[in-house]
């Protein structure tokens, strides 16, 4: 089944007006509210807390379709769709990823400065590969060169380890480019 993520500046604005049930995940034998997963189907759920009573993996096996509604605060500062497109189309200053004070501000990679400093990505595709490498299934690629990384990073792992699909990684890398360009835009306006 496809994996769908929808980004929001504030997901509660959408969830307040949409009838939904919250996904559940199994954490060491204990049911826990899924951080982002939502069902718009009539899945079995607890009426007191609106959380599904079956784990999201089991729910998928039964034909239920989970959609992840993600809060992505990086959209703060994006004025409109045209501005977003400009930020995305502009090549960022890639060397900024070699500065810890910049990296710590960035979506999804803020805690991975050492990996960014080592690999020095200089394109959305390379940044997407870095996003995959920070996941357990592809961590072994950290000490390989870009040729090996790009050859192996998008192969589905044989083990059941957490990994990033290329489509997710490209989308997240694009979001990081928007953030980098917003940081530069703010610095330019401050001068």
Say whether both 94 and 138 belong to one domain.
yes
- 44, 84: one domain: no
Which of 46, 71, 96 terminates a domain? The answer is 71
The string over 142-174, giving b where at least 16 C-beta atoms fall within 10 Å of a residue's C-beta and e elsewhere, is eeeebeebeeebbeeeeeeeebbeeeebbebbe
Residues 93 and 155 both lie in one domain: yes
Tokens representing residue 189 in the block: 């306006």
| Alpha carbons 14 and 42: distance in angstroms, whole number | 18
Please state, in angstroms and rounded to a whole number, the distance separating the CA atoms of residues 19 and 144: 47
- Cα(121)–Cα(85) distance, integer angstroms: 21
Q: 103 and 153: one domain?
A: yes
For the entire predicted model, the pTM comes to 0.72
Q: How does pLDDT run along the chain (191 residues), one tens digit per residue?
A: 667 888 887 899 999 999 999 999 988 888 999 999 999 999 999 999 999 999 999 999 999 999 999 887 777 888 899 999 999 999 999 999 999 999 999 988 999 999 999 999 999 999 999 999 999 899 999 999 999 999 999 999 888 888 889 998 999 999 999 999 999 998 877 66
Say if residue 62 is in the same domain as residue 86: no
Domain count, the chain: 2
Query: Can you give the residue range of the structural domain that contains 50?
Result: 4-71
Q: Are residues 126 and 61 in the same domain?
A: no
Does residue 88 sit in the same domain as residue 61?
A: no
């Amino acid at each position: 089944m496809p994996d769908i993520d929808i980004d929001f500046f504030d997901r509660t604005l959408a969830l307040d007006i949409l009838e939904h049930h919250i996904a559940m995940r199994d954490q060491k034998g204990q049911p826990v509210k899924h951080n982002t997963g939502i069902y718009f189907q009539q899945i079995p759920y607890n009426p007191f807390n609106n959380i599904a009573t079956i784990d999201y993996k089991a729910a998928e096996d039964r034909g239920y379709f989970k959609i992840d509604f993600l809060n992505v605060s990086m959209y703060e500062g994006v004025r409109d769709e045209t501005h977003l497109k400009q930020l995305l189309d502009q090549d960022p200053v890639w060397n900024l990823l070699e500065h810890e004070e910049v990296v710590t501000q960035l979506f999804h990679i803020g805690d991975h400065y050492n990996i960014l400093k080592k690999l020095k990505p200089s394109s959305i595709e390379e940044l997407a590969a870095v996003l995959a490498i920070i996941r357990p299934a592809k961590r072994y690629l950290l000490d390989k060169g870009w040729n090996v990384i790009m050859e192996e990073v998008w192969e589905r792992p044989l083990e059941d380890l957490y990994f990033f699909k290329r489509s997710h990684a490209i989308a997240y890398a694009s979001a990081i480019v928007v953030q980098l360009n917003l940081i530069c835009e703010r610095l330019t306006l401050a001068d």
